[in-house]
Structure 1
Amino acid sequence: MITAAGMPRMPARVLMALVAAPAGGYTAAELAERLEVSPAAVSGAVRYLQDAHFARRLPSAGRRRDRYDLVADSFHSVVIGNLPVYIRMADYVEKIAAATGDEPAAAERAAQMAGFLRFMAERMPQLVDEWIAQRDANPTGP
């Protein structure tokens, strides 16, 4: 399902394994064994998830192998972190709309896209606040 939302397959698999991870997460070797994939595949997936702020590396004092775990509240943190991207993208798309000249269909498409991106950038913080309030009011489930 996560690949349907746009995440590459291996990072999606590692993400779901981390959702089910015990306290303290998994080592890369444990992830590779659990998913029956190569350590190289896990390495690339973990790097992707770290870059996207979904996973974090937990150094293990006195051990050579780091552990990986989910970032707390990663999904709504990622959404909020991307809001400046939505605004910059809306600005850019509006410039495209202005440059279309005598192409009203292109200008309309660009205006719709920019409007949606600005709407999302405005509403997402409110939705995340609502989620946090709901989560805190009912910590055992939705």
Structure 2
Amino acid sequence: MEHRGIESAEQAAAMMTAAGMPRMPARTLMALIAAPAGGYTAAELADRLGVSAGAVSGAVRYLQDAHFIRRLPTPGHRRDRYDLVVDAFHSVIIGNIPVYLQMADYVDRILAEISDDEVATARASTMSGFLRFMARRMPELVAEWEELRASESADAVE
């Protein structure tokens, strides 16, 4: 099997791991970015990554739960294939907006309970404000991205 983009995929996975994603899901995600049309089977992913099928199984479960990848049943075959969800990254970001807002609500509750501590109040207020700002701006940024991408696609056709 040809292994396309392996070095860059490993470097990107290392960055995602440093940012907090578990190592094997990060490696699997980056391998799927370089996957051919139709994605990879778990066995192909294991071969590409040089790991066990068990390691891949846990990674694809993590990535499916996070809505980054999808399982594609292959009619007439026992092995499913895995591929990226179209626009996975901005879908995940938009999907997390309720989490940002709920977290801001919790931080506001903390803020109400600590109103006598100036340092803690400032810290909580800043966090709550940032979370609400991100929740408000993310849909705008995604819409801007979609407009830019559509514009670039239209320019490429001309």
* TM-based fold match above 0.5: yes
Query: What is aligned with 2:137?
Result: 123
Unaligned runs of 5+ in 2: 1-14
TM-score by length of 2: 0.86
Point out 4+ residue stretches in structure 1 off by more than 3 angstroms: none
1:23 aligned onto 2:59: no
Output the CA distance in 2 between the equivalents of 1:30 and 1:72: 21
**CA RMSD across the alignment:** 0.9
Amino acid at match of 1:115: G
Query: What is aligned with 2:12?
Result: none
Query: What is aligned with 1:79?
Result: 93
Amino acid at match of 1:61: P
1:13 aligned onto 2:13: no
Unaligned runs of 5+ in 1: none
Structure number with the higher helix fraction is 2
Query: What is aligned with 1:89?
Result: 103
Amino acid at match of 2:77: R
String of CA shifts for 1:4-32, please: whole Å, max 9, x gaps: 22211100000000000000000000000
Q: How does 1:31-46 map to 2 (within 5 A)?
A: 31-46=45-60
Amino acid at match of 1:95: R
Deviation at 1:101, TM superposition (A): 3.9
1:113 aligned onto 2:127: yes
Equivalent pairs counted in the alignment come to 140
Output the CA distance in 2 between the equivalents of 1:99 and 1:44: 40
Output the CA distance in 1 between the equivalents of 2:73 and 2:125: 47
Query: What is aligned with 1:60?
Result: 74
Q: Which gives a bigger RCO, structure 1 or 2 (Cα 8 Å, sep 6+)?
A: 1
Output the CA distance in 2 between the equivalents of 1:109 and 1:27: 47
TM-score by length of 1: 0.96
Query: What is aligned with 1:137?
Result: 151
